């Protein structure tokens, strides 16, 4: 309580203070009261300092991280809209690139990417397994410097029209999520493949998508218009080029068109991937004079089908064969011949050894087989106006350049369809969307024995994986110990339980305690027996592998598919380390109708691309087996090839570092269109760096062409029936003229290390070498042509792009809004 004196002093000062508080706000705006200078009065140095302070303040307002949308490979970006290509192919491995930036500090962490479920955002569960998979790789970012990181991830088969891919940046210390970049992409149809254009000036090929060879127009009333056979991609001629660095990510690509593209822009890995892709069925179309000069000193020089030292001018008379052979009779109107407005400049092509002029091409095309694939070189530029406006251009492109079957065009007068025709194969027995007619890429482990399927796709249920799964089940089974082992264990147990146990307690003066110790002795002996039994048969941890090694004659690289079974008596988590950077791996179903048990949650395996390629987190429960399917490209140390000796007789040279056993060679002697006529040559053993002469004899029994099949054994013991099925698959499906070597390596081929190591490893590798590929049939002209149609304009293309964007927007609304690129 205040005193009367203090109250008096407070009352004396209260009035003036109240007046000043009321007047102060009014005095602040008055001139002369500001403590800062007028901007016009600042010196140049002060202005510069002020601007720097403002710039720093603005810089601090940036988010810590920026992640661009995931960029697919192969990919391109539309030059007008800036939109990236958004097509990916389910059932294949995908290469992608992620651009990122740390704005405010250096950062070390990890990038995680996966194909996720639309509703939960969790990685999609792999079919018929108890696993989900995610891809990771280490990240080191320098402040304010953009960085590109390449990734590989598997896109599981999906019935939806879109696929969501998510990339997340994690901190290194605690693994916390710092930023996420989602992406919604259009899923390609099973029959669709990429058509890549590598051109110095890609704009001249923008109308390629209008060709019926690419578009394959089809329409039925009350059904959707069929998607085109190919998605045309135009990677920019800049480094890094938007192409995968592993051939195992090229399986969704059917063709590459090369026009004066600088080969030095491709990294070594991309060059190697393209050559691998060629050997397994890829087709490279090389356009005209400029490209030949560019490629002469490149990584493709040894594969070029022709050389040329001079050029010539071709008139309409010189191109008469081309016009007569490939100008079709239209379904409407009259025939429109080839018009040569100015003489064409054409190279005088000289085919190299093993090359040929494409029949009916007027000597304008020369091709060479490269393994299963081919390179075709044109003497003229493929974008010349006379050629691309010719009514027979699409006919010539489909049958000579792409080497696809002839087609037939059918009239339609449907008012709701802007075209007046549909197109189908001329041979009515062929299926319109048979992917085997759309892409020539094949891998034995993926495609052998499959009848109706999507070629070159990753599969766990085709004949080769099914046979491998059955063989692993038989080979990985635990055998009952021998009788001697059982007798020895029982004798040792009785010795410990009766004489030793009784003698010990008798010496201690308490025999009655021997009865108390008896159950304890029994438990200890049981544990010891189980442990000794496991060591006796090698199944404390066991690893069993069946692999398929596929190569092409004269090529030193091979495709290896491994099917690995991992058994453990005690619960373990395995990590699989691969030597080659292009290795891929996934958990492999133990059965084709697997279902999660009640309450069971799928575990996550990680495909990591750090110092090496690793599949980590493969959990195997006690006394169970899990399986893994992996694939990689390996260097054999040298090619396995067909040669001729000094006497001109055929010999086979094993230039690899592997000793081959159980070797035989099969050849289909039939000409195209004739029934199969097999001839065989049994070799037996073919050690590394050995040469052996071969002689063929007709095969009387196609089921046992070598007469030795019933006597074969493998490193897994007597050959199981399912390994015999793999042998049968390796002998099947020989095309006319094809020659194939079949053998085994009875050990693991290099390239895979598994931790923890197993006490017993059993492995066998089936070797398939395509010594000679089947030759191509002569191209046949289409039965007819579509005739003149309304030309698609730029406005038409923009309208199609708008419709695609609208469809994508509807899918986004259906699956939920996208997550922002930066936080």
- Please enumerate, as own/partner, the contacts of 684-688 that have beta carbons within 8 Å and a separation of 24 or more: 684/708, 685/659, 685/660, 685/661, 686/652, 686/654, 686/659, 686/660, 686/661, 686/743, 687/654, 687/659, 687/660, 688/637, 688/654, 688/656, 688/657, 688/658, 688/659
Position 333 confidence tier, pLDDT thresholds 50, 70, 90: confident
Most confident of 212-216, 281-285, 597-601: 281-285
Residues 6+ apart with CB under 8 A from 595: none
What CATH number was assigned to the domain covering residues 190-439+778-792?
3.40.50
Residues 6+ apart with CB under 8 A from 469: 563, 588, 589, 590, 627, 722
- For the cut 70, the answer to whether the pLDDT of residue 164 exceeds it is yes
pLDDT at 33: 44
pLDDT at 791: 53
- For the cut 90, the answer to whether the pLDDT of residue 254 exceeds it is yes
Q: CA-CA distance, 380 to 365, in Å (whole number)?
A: 9
Element (H, E) at 639: none
Secondary structure, 3-state, 275-313: HHHHHCCCEEEECHHHHHHHHCCCCCHHHCCEECCCEEE
Q: Let me know the angle formed at the C-alpha of 640 by 634 and 646, rounded to the nearest 5 degrees.
A: 155
Give the chain's mean pLDDT: 84
Could you tell me which residue, 34 or 145, shows the higher pLDDT? 145
Q: Find the range with the poorest average confidence among 89-103, 541-555, 712-726, 796-810.
A: 712-726
738-767 pLDDT, tens digit each: 999 999 999 999 999 999 999 889 999 999
Position 129 confidence tier, pLDDT thresholds 50, 70, 90: very high
Q: Let me know the angle formed at the C-alpha of 117 by 113 and 118, rounded to the nearest 5 degrees.
A: 110
* Six token digits for residue 357: 């002029």
Could you tell me which residue, 3 or 661, shows the higher pLDDT? 661
**Per-residue DSSP letter, 219:** -
Residues 6+ apart with CB under 8 A from 411: 331, 332, 420, 421
- For the cut 50, the answer to whether the pLDDT of residue 103 exceeds it is yes
Residue-by-residue DSSP string for 708-755: -GGG-EETTEEPPHHHHHHHHHHHS-PPTT-EEEEEEESSPPSSEEEE
Side-chain-facing half-sphere of 780: CA atoms under 13 Å: 11
- For the cut 60, the answer to whether the pLDDT of residue 727 exceeds it is yes
DSSP-assigned beta bridge partners for residue 347 = 311
Average pLDDT over residues 670-694: 92
- For the cut 90, the answer to whether the pLDDT of residue 589 exceeds it is yes
- For the cut 70, the answer to whether the pLDDT of residue 483 exceeds it is no
- For the cut 50, the answer to whether the pLDDT of residue 353 exceeds it is yes
CA distances from 334 to 204, 327, 330, 331, 817 (A): 28, 11, 6, 9, 53
Most confident of 212-221, 329-338, 378-387, 449-458: 378-387
Domain edges within the chain: 62-188, 190-439+778-792, 483-537, 541-775
DSSP-assigned beta bridge partners for residue 574 = 618
Could you tell me which residue, 556 or 2, shows the higher pLDDT? 556
pLDDT at 741: 96
528-578 pLDDT, tens digit each: 766 565 544 445 789 999 999 999 999 999 999 999 999 998 899 999 999
Average pLDDT over residues 622-633: 94
178-206 pLDDT, tens digit each: 888 888 899 999 999 999 999 999 999 99
Q: Find the range with the poorest average confidence among 104-113, 350-359, 402-411, 805-814.
A: 805-814
Let me know how long the chain is.
823
Question: Collapsing DSSP states into helix, strand and coil, what is residue 464?
Answer: helix
Q: Which fold has domain 62-188?
A: Immunoglobulin-like (2.60.40)
261-319 pLDDT, tens digit each: 999 999 999 999 999 999 999 999 999 888 999 999 999 999 999 999 899 999 999 99
Taking a C-beta distance cutoff of 8 angstroms, is the pair 113, 207 a contact? no
Select from 352, 339, 233 the least CA-distant residue to 295.
Answer: 352
pLDDT at 248: 97
Average pLDDT over residues 500-528: 71
Q: CA-CA distance, 606 to 590, in Å (whole number)?
A: 19
Q: Find the range with the poorest average confidence among 239-253, 475-489, 664-678, 687-701.
A: 475-489
Could you tell me which residue, 476 or 187, shows the higher pLDDT? 187
pLDDT at 237: 85
Average pLDDT over residues 505-530: 70
- For the cut 80, the answer to whether the pLDDT of residue 663 exceeds it is yes
**Per-residue DSSP letter, 644:** E
Element (H, E) at 522: helix 513-537
Select from 728, 732, 738, 730 the least CA-distant residue to 669.
Answer: 738
Q: Where are the alpha helices (DSSP H) in 156-267?
A: 212-215
Residues 6+ apart with CB under 8 A from 29: none
Average pLDDT over residues 464-483: 74
Residue showing tokens 């082992």: 485
- Residue 808 burial (C-beta neighbours within 10 Å; 0-12, 13-18, 19+): middle
- For the cut 50, the answer to whether the pLDDT of residue 23 exceeds it is no
pLDDT at 450: 79
* Six token digits for residue 21: 């508080």
Q: Find the range with the poorest average confidence among 121-135, 333-347, 621-635, 805-819.
A: 805-819
Strand duo 87-88 + 162-171: pairing:
unpaired
Q: How many helical (H) and strand (E) elements, i.e. helices and strands, does the chain have?
A: 15, 40
Position 332 confidence tier, pLDDT thresholds 50, 70, 90: confident
To the nearest 10°, report the CA torsion of 692, 693, 697, 700: 0
- For the cut 80, the answer to whether the pLDDT of residue 796 exceeds it is no
Position 500 confidence tier, pLDDT thresholds 50, 70, 90: confident
Helix 513-537 with 483-495: angle, nearest 10 deg = 160
Taking a C-beta distance cutoff of 8 angstroms, is the pair 723, 714 a contact? yes
Q: CA-CA distance, 509 to 489, in Å (whole number)?
A: 29
Could you tell me which residue, 705 or 532, shows the higher pLDDT? 705
Calculate what percentage of the chain has a pLDDT beyond 90: 54
- For the cut 80, the answer to whether the pLDDT of residue 17 exceeds it is no
Position 784 confidence tier, pLDDT thresholds 50, 70, 90: very high
- For the cut 60, the answer to whether the pLDDT of residue 640 exceeds it is yes
Position 822 confidence tier, pLDDT thresholds 50, 70, 90: very low
């Amino acid at each position: 309580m205040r005193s009367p004196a203090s109250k008096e002093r407070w009352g004396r000062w209260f009035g003036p203070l109240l007046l000043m508080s009321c007047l102060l706000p009014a005095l602040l705006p008055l001139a002369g009261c500001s403590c800062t200078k007028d901007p016009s009065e600042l010196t140049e140095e002060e202005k510069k300092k002020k601007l720097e302070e403002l710039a720093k303040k603005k810089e601090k307002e940036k988010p810590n991280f920026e992640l661009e949308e995931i960029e697919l490979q192969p990919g391109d970006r539309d030059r007008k809209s800036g939109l990236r290509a958004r097509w990916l192919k389910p059932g294949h491995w995908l290469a992608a690139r992620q651009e990122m930036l740390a704005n405010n500090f250096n950062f070390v962490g990890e990038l995680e990417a996966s194909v996720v479920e639309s509703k939960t955002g969790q990685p999609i569960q792999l079919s018929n397994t108890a696993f989900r998979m995610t891809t990771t790789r280490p990240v080191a970012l320098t402040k304010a410097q953009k960085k590109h990181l390449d990734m590989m991830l598997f896109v599981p088969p999906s019935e939806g029209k879109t696929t969501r891919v998510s990339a997340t940046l994690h901190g290194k210390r605690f693994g916390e999520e710092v930023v996420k970049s989602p992406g919604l992409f259009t899923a390609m149809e099973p029959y669709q493949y990429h058509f890549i254009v590598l051109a110095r000036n890609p704009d001249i090929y923008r109308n390629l998508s209008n060709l019926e060879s690419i578009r394959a127009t089809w329409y039925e009333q009350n059904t959707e218009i069929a998607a085109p056979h190919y998605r045309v991609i135009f990677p920019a001629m800049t480094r890094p080029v938007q192409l995968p660095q592993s051939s195992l990510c090229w399986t969704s690509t059917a063709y590459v068109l090369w026009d004066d593209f600088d080969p030095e822009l491709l990294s070594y890995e991309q060059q190697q991937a393209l050559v691998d892709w060629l050997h397994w069925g890829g087709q490279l179309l090389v356009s005209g004079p400029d490209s030949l000069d560019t490629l002469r000193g490149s990584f493709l020089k040894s594969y070029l089908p022709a050389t040329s030292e001079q050029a010539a001018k071709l008139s309409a008379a010189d191109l008469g064969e081309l016009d007569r052979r490939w100008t079709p009779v239209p379904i409407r109107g009259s025939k429109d011949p080839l018009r040569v407005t100015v003489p064409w400049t054409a190279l005088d092509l000289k085919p190299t050894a093993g090359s040929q002029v494409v029949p009916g091409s007027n000597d304008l095309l020369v091709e060479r087989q490269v393994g299963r694939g081919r390179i075709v070189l044109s003497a003229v530029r493929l974008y010349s106006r006379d050629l691309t406006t010719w009514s027979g251009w699409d006919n010539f492109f489909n049958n000579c350049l792409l080497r696809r079957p002839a087609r037939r065009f059918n009239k339609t007068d449907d008012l709701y369809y802007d075209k007046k025709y549909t197109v189908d194969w001329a041979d009515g027995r062929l299926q319109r969307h048979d992917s085997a007619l759309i892409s020539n890429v094949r891998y034995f482990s993926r495609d052998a024995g499959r009848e109706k399927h999507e070629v070159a796709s990753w599969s766990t249920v085709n004949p080769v994986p099914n046979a491998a799964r059955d063989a692993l089940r038989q080979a990985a089974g635990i055998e009952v110990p021998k009788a001697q082992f059982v007798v020895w264990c029982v004798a040792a147990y009785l010795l410990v339980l009766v004489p030793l146990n009784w003698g010990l307690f008798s010496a201690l003066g308490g025999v009655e305690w021997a009865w108390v110790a008896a159950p304890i002795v029994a438990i200890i002996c049981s544990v010891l027996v189980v442990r000794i039994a496991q060591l006796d048969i090698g199944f404390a941890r066991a690893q069993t592998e069946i692999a398929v090694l596929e190569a092409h004659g004269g090529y030193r690289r091979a495709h290896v598919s491994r099917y690995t079974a991992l058994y453990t008596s005690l619960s373990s988590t395995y990590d699989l380390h691969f030597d080659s950077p292009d290795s891929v791996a996934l958990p492999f179903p133990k059965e084709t109708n697997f279902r999660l048990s009640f309450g069971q949650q799928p575990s996550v395996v990680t495909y990591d691309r750090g110092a090496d390629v690793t599949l980590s987190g493969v959990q195997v429960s006690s006394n169970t087996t899990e399986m893994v399917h992996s694939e990689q490209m390996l260097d054999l140390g040298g090619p396995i090839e067909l040669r001729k000796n000094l006497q001109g007789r055929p010999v086979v040279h094993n230039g690899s570092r592997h000793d081959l056993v159980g070797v035989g060679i099969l050849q289909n002697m039939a000409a195209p269109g004739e029934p199969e006529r097999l001839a065989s040559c049994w070799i037996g053993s073919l050690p590394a760096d050995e040469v052996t002469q071969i002689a063929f004899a007709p095969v009387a029994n196609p089921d046992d062409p070598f007469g030795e099949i019933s006597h074969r054994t493998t490193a897994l013991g007597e050959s199981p029936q399912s390994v015999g099925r793999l042998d049968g698959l390796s002998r099947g499906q020989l095309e006319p003229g094809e020659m194939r070597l079949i053998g085994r390596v009875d050990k693991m081929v290099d390239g895979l290390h598994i931790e923890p190591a197993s006490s017993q490893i059993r492995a066998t590798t089936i070797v398939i070498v395509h010594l000679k590929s089947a030759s191509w049939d002569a191209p046949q002209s289409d039965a007819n042509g579509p005739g003149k149609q309304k030309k698609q304009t730029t406005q038409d293309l923009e309208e199609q792009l708008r419709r695609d964007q609208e469809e994508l927007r509807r899918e986004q609304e259906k699956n939920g809004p996208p997550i922002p690129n930066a936080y």
